[in-house]
């Protein structure tokens, strides 16, 4: 597994959803232990836009991948 997400990214539910809806995302990361409502909304939006979804074991691990000291439910890698 990678130890850091590369490229421009947004972290968190609101920012990820906003980026997905604006078609500026190439991949979405979702923590498996994220709140079900958040998990389902991001997954649905990503699938509607045919985006690559990567599932991460937990929020703490996703936060670490994003380079932050707290957990993250979702993150999105932005188009170049």
Residue 8: band (very low, low, confident or very high) from pLDDT cuts 50, 70, 90: very high
Average pLDDT value for the chain: 94
- The residues with which 30 forms a beta bridge, in sequence order, are 55, 74
Q: How many CA atoms lie within 13 A of 29 on its CB side?
A: 27
Residue 4: the pLDDT is: 84
Can you tell me the distance from the alpha carbon of 7 to that of 34, in angstroms, rounded to the nearest whole number? 23
Model confidence, pTM = 0.93
User: Which pLDDT score, from 0 to 100, does residue 33 have?
Assistant: 97
Distances (CA, A) of 8 to 18, 24, 27, 77: 15, 11, 11, 6
- Quick one: what percent of the chain has pLDDT higher than 90? 90
Q: What is the mean pLDDT of residues 17-44?
A: 96
Report d(CA 42, CA 38) in Å as an integer: 6
């Amino acid at each position: 597994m990678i130890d850091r997400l590369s490229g421009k990214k947004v972290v968190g539910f609101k920012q990820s959803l906003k980026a997905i809806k604006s078609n500026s995302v190439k991949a979405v990361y979702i923590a498996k232990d994220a709140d079900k409502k958040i998990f389902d909304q991001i997954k649905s939006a990503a699938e509607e836009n045919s985006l690559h979804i990567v599932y991460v074991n937990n929020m703490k691990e996703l936060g670490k991948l994003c380079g932050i000291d707290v957990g993250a439910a979702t993150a999105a890698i932005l188009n170049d």
